[in-house]
């Protein structure tokens, strides 16, 4: 968060040359400012990893990713918890007292709300960025919501509104313009390959956004009855499901079942019911042919009686993202072999 948002606008002599050096140092080896990170996290101090992941999981918008959070912390403080500035900004996410009063809280449970505490700072950063991404998406400005949110974090949302987008290089010596560009370009250095079967989702809208959000949990265990719109959770056994080797594995497994993963992906934009059968009933008036499938469409399987027993999210290229069964993890598989081909029942679009 720069000196503009803190109310102390400073124009430093030679700033253009300095910014040029910073950009060269920070984005060398990257592919410009259009990173689309879908993988895991790398190159982050271990004490930050947990909090970055938690902040991302709490945000309803898939545009807030771990790599974006990490690149922003790098730009703000270089991951220095004790960082400060002449304008009064404090901690790894560089909050000033006025902004901290709104977004800061005791996220790490140590009895104090402190912008120098890594957990408190990163969770506050994530919540502010999530709010700004929401404003950006509602604004309909013709730019990437991530770029708009970064500009709002740096210069205040009022500056974004003033220019109808990211402020130009002529604004404040180019500080905000280059802040956004550096972070967007440096995300890739923090992006790990992700788990096997990781999914790169293109496009925007309800379907791709739901697919992107659910794809965060590729590799998460299946848990019968587990998972909520807020994320993974422990499940239960019902006499037939949730068991491994005669033991109720679901009771101690934090994860999703097939329908809770789908529900999580679409929540809260579309508040789907909890079970696969109920999700089919709620959306069956909007059927989709096999040839017309688009990312995020719901695909269903049924037994011989017509009972819908499984649901997944169409992932493009004849694939499905789903939570298969007890003992398996959330994964991406060919649509034809994810479940018995003869059980394929159809698809709908929420």
**What are residue 14's phi and psi, to 5 degrees?**
75, 15
| Residue-level pLDDT at 200 | 80
Residues 241, 182 share a domain: no
pLDDT (tens digit per residue) in 43-57:
999 999 999 989 988
Residue 283: pLDDT over 60:
yes
- How far is residue 52's CA from residue 66's CA, in Å, rounded to a whole number? 6
| Residue-level pLDDT at 29 | 39
**Residue 179 belongs to some domain of the structure:** yes
Structure confidence at residue 340 as a pLDDT band (50, 70, 90): very high
Residues 74, 185 share a domain: yes
For residue 342, what is the domain's CATH number?
Answer: 3.90.1720.10
Residue 83: pLDDT over 60:
yes
Written as six digits, the tokens of 277 are 């059968």
**What are residue 13's phi and psi, to 5 degrees?**
-65, 135
Angle between helix 258-266 and 206-215 (nearest 10): 130
218, 59 Cβ separation under 8 angstroms: no
Residues 274, 313 share a domain: yes
Residues 263, 214 share a domain: yes
- How far is residue 61's CA from residue 278's CA, in Å, rounded to a whole number? 25
Residue 3: pLDDT over 60:
no
- How far is residue 21's CA from residue 303's CA, in Å, rounded to a whole number? 63
For residue 134, what is the domain's CATH number?
Answer: 1.10.530.10
Owning domain of residue 157:
15-190
Structure confidence at residue 12 as a pLDDT band (50, 70, 90): very low
**What are residue 133's phi and psi, to 5 degrees?**
-65, -40
Number of domains in the chain: 2
| Residue-level pLDDT at 38 | 44
Report the 10 Å Cβ neighbour count for 102.
11
Which residues are annotated as catalytic? 76
Structure confidence at residue 35 as a pLDDT band (50, 70, 90): very low
Residues 122, 59 share a domain: yes
Last residue of a domain, one of 190, 215, 234: 190
Q: Give first-to-last CA distance, the chain, whole Å.
A: 38
């Amino acid at each position: 968060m720069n000196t503009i948002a803190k109310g102390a606008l400073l124009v430093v002599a030679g700033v253009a040359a300095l910014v040029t050096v910073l950009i060269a140092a920070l984005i060398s080896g990257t592919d410009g400012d259009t990173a689309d990170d879908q993988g895991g996290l790398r190159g982050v101090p271990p004490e930050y990893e947990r909090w970055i992941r938690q902040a991302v999981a709490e945000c309803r918008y898939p545009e807030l990713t771990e790599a974006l959070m990490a690149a922003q912390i790098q730009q703000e403080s270089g991951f220095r918890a004790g960082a400060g500035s002449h304008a009064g900004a404090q901690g790894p996410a560089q909050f000033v007292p006025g902004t901290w009063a709104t977004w800061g809280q005791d996220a790490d449970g140590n009895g104090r709300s402190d912008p120098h505490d890594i957990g408190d700072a990163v969770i506050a950063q994530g919540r502010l960025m999530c709010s700004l991404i929401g404003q950006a998406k509602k604004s309909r400005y013709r730019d990437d919501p991530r770029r708009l949110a970064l500009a709002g974090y740096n210069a205040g949302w009022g500056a974004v509104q003033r220019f109808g987008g990211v402020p130009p290089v002529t604004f404040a010596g180019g500080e905000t313009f280059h802040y956004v560009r550096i972070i967007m370009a440096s995300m890739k250095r923090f992006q790990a390959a992700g788990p096997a079967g990781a999914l790169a989702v293109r496009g925007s809208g309800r379907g791709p956004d739901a697919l992107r959000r659910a794809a965060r949990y590729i590799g998460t265990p299946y848990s019968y009855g587990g998972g909520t719109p807020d994320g993974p959770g422990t499940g239960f056994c019902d006499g037939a499901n949730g068991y491994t080797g005669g033991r109720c594995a679901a009771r101690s497994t934090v994860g999703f079942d097939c329908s809770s993963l789908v529900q999580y992906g679409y929540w809260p934009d579309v508040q789907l019911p909890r079970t696969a059968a109920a999700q089919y009933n709620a959306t069956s008036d909007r059927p989709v042919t096999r040839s017309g499938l688009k990312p995020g469409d719901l695909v269903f399987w049924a037994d011989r009686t017509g009972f819908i027993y499984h649901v997944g999210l169409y992932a493009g290229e004849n694939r499905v993202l789903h939570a298969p069964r007890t003992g398996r993890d959330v994964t991406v598989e060919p649509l034809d072999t994810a479940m018995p081909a003869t059980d394929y029942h159809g698809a709908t679009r929420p």
